[in-house]
Amino acid sequence: MPIGSRFDVCVIGAGPAGLAAASRLADNGRDVLVLDRAAARSRWGGETFTSAIRGPLSELGCWEAFERAGHVAGYERQCAWGGEPHAENALFQPQGPLWHVDRDRFDADLRRTVHQRGAVFESYRKLEDVRLDDGRWRVALDGGRVTQARYLVDATGRHRTLSRRLGARIEFHDRLVGLTAKVARDRAAAEIRSMILQATPFGWWYGAPVPDGHVLVLFTDADLAPSQLRHRLRPAAANSAFTDTDGAPGWLAVGDACASHDPLCGWGVQRALSNGLLAGDAIAETLATGVSAPVVTYRRHCREQYDRYLRGLTYRYSLERRWPSAPFWARRHHPR
């Protein structure tokens, strides 16, 4: 279908949550347009998923392909946080190993799957205008391209492009950023599959293998990031935030555009996929029945889930007590 066609749903953004929603909608027989604004580069270069990623990938029919994609199965996590250093071995976890993922490959494979299910993809650089006109959304892109849809999905990640355009209230809870370096693998050295996580006076860092090397990331607050590192490494947002879309007609937010998480939790992508599937089901039912209750239920679920996440995150940070007067830790021990 050309860009000028009418669609049931327009998903703005092609991250995991948006793709999961698009996949579910396509499976429900809906005409779906995915607007894909290509990023200059991935945020981290690599990422670690917990074993819980198997659930939503299985629902999407992607699990076997994921296992064959060359991502690194990790069986050990070494941790220095709030006490004596210790190691956790996934061999004793019934759910299975961690997965150290080439994020670019993961996203590309997910796009391919959703495209094969019938979703239409269109690349764009700028969202020029969005307006609700006689019960349909009119979406204008760069180059004079215009499309219409009955429902919109904000899947633009932490930028929250659509949510900001439509005036949604965004709650920010901290200023965490990640400073990332990627190190090529030394082919002559033994392969290391351990993940390392360590607290420091000004934040925390982790190192993990990816298929072609290792990723090292320092997480700290934006105003605390060492200037010498800020000049060498571009900070990427890693803060916790929530978008309140209660009462918004004809659209909702998914993934980081809805709720962004501190990478310490380790399941941001898994949750994005799971909630994207729920959003797809809710929109499909609302379009079929004309009743908004499924979308209201989805939004309530996201709000309650995020509130539980914040309580758990506060507890996790409270376990580290070695530097109570350091600004990074003081802010988390006494959150406002």
What pLDDT digit, counting tens, does each position of 37-91 carry? 876 455 556 788 988 999 999 999 999 999 999 898 888 889 999 888 888 887 6
**Model pTM?**
0.92
Q: Do the domain assignments include residue 266?
A: yes
pLDDT at 45: 60
How many Å apart are CA 132 and CA 166, to the nearest integer?
A: 10
Q: Do the domain assignments include residue 1?
A: no
Q: Do the domain assignments include residue 151?
A: yes
Q: Do the domain assignments include residue 80?
A: yes
Q: How confident is the model at residue 94 (pLDDT cuts 50, 70, 90)?
A: low
Residue 95 has pLDDT above 80, yes or no: no
**Better-scored residue on pLDDT, 89 or 153:** 153
CATH number at residue 161: 3.50.50.60
Q: Do the domain assignments include residue 130?
A: yes
The boundaries of the domain holding residue 189 are: 6-333
Q: Do the domain assignments include residue 297?
A: yes
How many independent structural domains does the chain possess?
1
Q: Do the domain assignments include residue 217?
A: yes
pLDDT tens-digit map of 287-316: 999 999 999 999 999 999 999 999 999 999
Distance of CA 110 to CAs 107, 116, 270, Å?
Answer: 5, 10, 13
